[in-house]
Structure 1
Amino acid sequence: MGILVSLFVLSFLIFFHELGHFLAARFFGVKVERFSIGFGPILAKKDYAGTEWAISAIPLGGYVKMKGQDDLDPTKRDPDPDSYNSKKPWQRIVILFAGPFANFFLAFLLYFAIAIMGSNTLAPVIGEVVKDSPAYEAGLKQKDKIVEINGKKVKTWEDLSKIISTSNGDLVLKVEREKKILTLKVTPRFLETKNIFGEKVKKKMIGIAPAAEFINISYTPLEALKVAYDKTIAASKMIIVGIEKMIEGVVPLKEVGGVISIMDITAKASQMGIIALFSLTALISVNLGVLNLLPIPALDGGHIVFNIYEWITRKVPSEEIIYRLTLLGWAVLIMLMGLGIYNDINRLMGASNG
């Protein structure tokens, strides 16, 4: 069952991406010759509203084939008014960007749904106070619940961490201890810790760790809009930084995962409940959006770069250069896909041997 869910999720994410391209293309009057759910040999098809709607054999996403666009041969051009490459560069950029945007928008909708439904998160309850830390010196104790900082209500441990890390000067804390509210003053200090990439960094902290206490938190629709926006932006930033760290060598190439890892993680998330599945699906959707905007010629981002060049210079890039760069882009993508599958197989073999 988990494998079927992960197949559906992955297919839906890519389908939604292609739907973005389709809607933008039709908005600008570009003929979409085929919209396929899946890849490979066509199993069934039907013509409707000038587009061939198809179901293909390999259920991993889908594709749209626009008139005048050929990803395998980007030098092909069609002068007809309903052709992709007859449109102005800025219109083509919108069509190209619409796919990744659809992924960001889907992630936003999923985060919004999670915020409305409510999810378990760490409560702002102290599980440990580091000796000689600002919190220790201020008199904070284990099991204290922080309810307010500098007049701002604190609902979750995430709220608490964010306020402390972005603070300036002293913090006035309202703390619930044994059903009494105490007011304590603490001054954060830059302390050494490790980020999610294992790097040592300096961060404003007061020296506390959370208790293993969870609360279910939900938001009003208006609050949920802001939560969804913040989470979509945070996920995008995290993926961009992750790519930077991989290029810098901080994240080893062996950590690169492929479709097998994605399906395995999604299958496990589906067994944990709808909230976990929505959270992971949103993160993968943002991942697809960011990766497709990378300036690699075979991806949307690479095509956007070509169109920006044409828009600024009012010259069509050299067909020879486009062709060679696109071949290079495909080579890079195939190598990355191969690396992901190689790492996936190694992890599976390691798990079976263990």
Structure 2
Amino acid sequence: MTSIFFAIIALGVLIFIHELGHFLFAKAFGVGVEKFSLGFGPKIVGKKYGETEYLLSAFPLGGYVKMVGEGDDVEITEEQRTVSFSDKSVLRRIIIVAAGPIFNLLFAYFLFIVVFMIGVPAVTTKVGEVVPGKPAAQAGILPGDLITAVNGKPVDRWEDFATVISKGKIAPMQVTVVRGATVMNYNMVPEPRTTKNLLGETVTSPVIGVVAAGETVTDHFTPLEAIKRGSEQCWNVISLTFLSLVRLVERAIPLDTIGGPIMIVKIAGQQAAAGGVNFLAFVALLSVNLGVLNLLPVPILDGGHLAFYIIELIIGRPVGKRAREIAQQVGLVLLVSLMILAFYNDIARIVTGK
């Protein structure tokens, strides 16, 4: 139940941020908003303020902002025409629709900055295991050693140390360690290891055969440093999300890696149990995924509507109604198929215990 609670909190906040983007820009451009709903389906509770009814609906996996004059075959009065979404310029419609996913990306950026300001756990360079027969073992490095430098370049976090090794060459190197009160230098030549990365690509990189002890410290950053690192982290996650989608289409990443609501519930519980920073980072990651997915040019998603409006901007007239209907039907089939696959993968993980 705890996992479900935290998943609802995470998704509820992200849906609210997304719909808030649409809502605020609709209001800014003089578009009337009839409904602002968290969730789909039957109304659980609702309250009307001014022209807008604010709703909490039964199914929490989404939300919507219903604007005056939005959609095909919507009848509006002459009085409503001045606040109709469809009567606004195509540029304003593009901004209103794009605001949802962009708000998700900006919210993720904000959360990453907060995470770095609060403090992030980092693994030290203390060695936990030395793989027998590998370069480090042959050179004489032992479990418990604290790695302090590679080729004279200081390192104090395992991520930095691993990056130096993996981006280096298969060439002689010197690793400096502290054992007790003694500083020792070991010479070795890394050996190549071929693996698959997160994008399913086969990569070969140097390794020396050591495993981190898992000793962690908390790194705190000033607001300026947090903004810099938050910017880098947000951009890296956005780039990785786009690349992952491309690799999924190419089948470089297996389709069974796609997760659905059950997976989100499980991970939300795990991250919440690990601490507030972990949970915030998880919400930021979800926010990026929600923003990126909604920008895809798939009809019924925000990106599909944006594609229609961009075409309208180029050709000077709206895309034909029949073409939109066919595209939306195709988009619905794709979305439903993806949801079925995600649920299937979630259930398969439960059955297999993975």
Q: TM-score w.r.t. structure 2 length?
A: 0.83
Q: Secondary structure at the match of 2:296?
A: coil
CA 1:303/1:151 → structure 2, altered by over 3 Å: closer, same or farther? Answer: farther
Distance between the aligned counterparts of 2:174 and 2:351, measured in 1? 53
Q: Are residues 1:284 and 2:286 paired?
A: yes
Partner of 1:211: 213
- Higher mean Cα deviation, 250-259 or 293-302? 250-259
Distance between the aligned counterparts of 1:147 and 1:22, measured in 2? 52
CA 1:81/1:141 → structure 2, altered by over 3 Å: closer, same or farther? Answer: farther
Q: Secondary structure at the match of 1:280?
A: helix
Partner of 1:25: 26
CA RMSD across the alignment:
3.3
Cα distance per residue 1:154-209 (max 9 Å; x no partner): 45322333455556999887755544667889887865333135543123656544
Partner of 1:267: 269
CA 1:207/1:24 → structure 2, altered by over 3 Å: closer, same or farther? Answer: farther
Partner letter of residue 14 of structure 1? I
Deviation at residue 245 of structure 1 after TM alignment: 2.3
CA 1:348/1:172 → structure 2, altered by over 3 Å: closer, same or farther? Answer: closer
Alignment of 1:294-309 (within 5 A): 294-309=296-311
Q: Are residues 1:333 and 2:335 paired?
A: yes
Q: Are residues 1:84 and 2:85 paired?
A: yes
Distance between the aligned counterparts of 2:151 and 2:320, measured in 1? 59
Q: Secondary structure at the match of 1:81?
A: helix
Partner letter of residue 336 of structure 1? L
Partner of 2:70: 69
Q: Secondary structure at the match of 1:29?
A: coil
Q: Structure 1: which 5+ runs fail to align?
A: none
Q: Are residues 1:196 and 2:191 paired?
A: no
Q: Structure 2: which 5+ runs fail to align?
A: none
- Higher mean Cα deviation, 56-65 or 288-297? 56-65
CA 1:47/1:262 → structure 2, altered by over 3 Å: closer, same or farther? Answer: same
CA 1:159/1:53 → structure 2, altered by over 3 Å: closer, same or farther? Answer: same
Partner of 1:347: 349
Partner letter of residue 201 of structure 1? V
Deviation at residue 254 of structure 1 after TM alignment: 2.7
Deviation at residue 239 of structure 1 after TM alignment: 2.0
Alignment of 1:103-114 (within 5 A): 103-114=104-115
Contact 2:15 2:38 in 1 (8 A): no
CA 1:182/1:298 → structure 2, altered by over 3 Å: closer, same or farther? Answer: same
Q: Secondary structure at the match of 1:80?
A: helix
Partner letter of residue 325 of structure 2? Y
CA 1:200/1:46 → structure 2, altered by over 3 Å: closer, same or farther? Answer: same
Distance between the aligned counterparts of 2:154 and 2:309, measured in 1? 48
- Higher mean Cα deviation, 20-29 or 41-50? 41-50
Distance between the aligned counterparts of 1:201 and 1:180, measured in 2? 36
Q: Are residues 1:13 and 2:2 paired?
A: no
Alignment of 1:50-65 (within 5 A): 50-65=51-66
Deviation at residue 77 of structure 1 after TM alignment: 8.4
Partner letter of residue 265 of structure 2? M
Identity of aligned residues (%): 38
Partner letter of residue 324 of structure 1? I
Contact 1:32 1:66 in 2 (8 A): yes
Deviation at residue 89 of structure 1 after TM alignment: 2.4
Deviation at residue 258 of structure 1 after TM alignment: 1.5
Deviation at residue 317 of structure 1 after TM alignment: 1.4
CA 1:51/1:251 → structure 2, altered by over 3 Å: closer, same or farther? Answer: same
CA 1:187/1:220 → structure 2, altered by over 3 Å: closer, same or farther? Answer: farther
- Higher mean Cα deviation, 158-167 or 265-274? 158-167
Contact 1:13 1:61 in 2 (8 A): no
Contact 1:136 1:207 in 2 (8 A): yes
Distance between the aligned counterparts of 2:70 and 2:150, measured in 1? 56
Partner letter of residue 345 of structure 2? N
Q: Secondary structure at the match of 2:81?
A: coil
Deviation at residue 336 of structure 1 after TM alignment: 0.9
Partner letter of residue 278 of structure 1? L
Distance between the aligned counterparts of 1:82 and 1:170, measured in 2? 71
Contact 1:77 1:85 in 2 (8 A): no
CA 1:14/1:325 → structure 2, altered by over 3 Å: closer, same or farther? Answer: same
CA 1:350/1:210 → structure 2, altered by over 3 Å: closer, same or farther? Answer: closer
Contact 1:112 1:227 in 2 (8 A): yes
Partner of 2:96: 95
Distance between the aligned counterparts of 1:152 and 1:91, measured in 2? 53
Deviation at residue 274 of structure 1 after TM alignment: 1.4
Q: Are residues 1:225 and 2:227 paired?
A: yes
Deviation at residue 131 of structure 1 after TM alignment: 7.7
Contact 1:40 1:58 in 2 (8 A): yes
CA 1:56/1:193 → structure 2, altered by over 3 Å: closer, same or farther? Answer: closer
Deviation at residue 242 of structure 1 after TM alignment: 2.1
Deviation at residue 128 of structure 1 after TM alignment: 5.0
